[in-house]
């Protein structure tokens, strides 16, 4: 719970932590397709869990992000992934917080090897034309830099 809202855990970081602990290969630097499959599973579980909660649930990421990740990596998007992105319904208004390197929101570590350029491209990818079209699944809005938090705890971001 962050500032009175139920939040979800970032799938990518959770998967990387688990895979590194067990010597698994579902890592973005080892097997991106397998990593994406685990992210899809994680996000579907987070979605089902959120449906059981009272009040607003803030998602760190969601199923559309898996679709965007595959496209960013130049990997084919399997039919079940695009189908899941169309099937799972979040609140239509989606807020996208850019990486903002001058704050604690973006930093590299043993789990986040992604550089700033890739992080920025990742933030732009998930909400493709089919999902973000007028009347589509979502209406993405980029949080303006003037609203950026001064720290990770101010952002509500867990990872």
**Exposure pattern of 76-95 as b/e (b: 16+ CB <10 Å)?**
ebeeebbebbeebeeeeebe
Tokens in use for 119? 């992080």
Report which of residues 34 and 89 the model is more confident about.
Answer: 34
Query: Do 40 and 68 form a contact (C-beta atoms < 8 A)?
Result: no
Question: At 105, is the pLDDT very low, low, confident or very high (cuts 50, 70, 90)?
Answer: low
Indicate yes or no: pTM above 0.75.
no
Q: How does pLDDT run across 33-88, given as a tens digit for each residue?
A: 999 999 999 999 999 999 999 888 888 888 988 988 898 889 999 999 999 988 88
For helices 63-72 and 79-87, angle between their N-to-C axes, nearest 10 degrees: 140
The residues spanned by each domain of the chain are: 6-155
The partner residues of 95 in beta bridges, in order of sequence, read 141
The 10s digit of each residue's pLDDT in 107-135 is 566 666 566 666 666 655 555 544 555 55
């Amino acid at each position: 719970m962050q500032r009175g809202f139920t939040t979800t855990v970032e799938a990518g970081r959770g998967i990387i932590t688990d895979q590194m602990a067990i010597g698994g290969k579902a890592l973005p630097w080892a097997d991106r397709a397998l990593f994406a499959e685990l992210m899809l599973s994680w996000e579907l579980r987070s979605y089902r869990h959120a449906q059981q909660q009272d009040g607003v649930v803030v998602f760190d990421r969601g199923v559309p992000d898996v679709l965007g990740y595959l496209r960013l990596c130049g990997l084919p998007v399997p039919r079940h992934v695009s189908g899941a992105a169309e099937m799972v319904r979040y609140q239509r208004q989606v807020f996208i917080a850019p990486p903002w390197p001058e704050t604690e929101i973006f930093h590299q570590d043993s789990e986040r090897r992604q550089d700033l350029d890739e992080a920025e491209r990742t933030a732009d990818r998930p909400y493709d034309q089919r999902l973000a079209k007028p009347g589509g699944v979502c209406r993405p809005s980029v949080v303006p830099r003037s609203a950026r938090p001064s720290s990770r705890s101010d952002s509500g971001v867990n990872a």
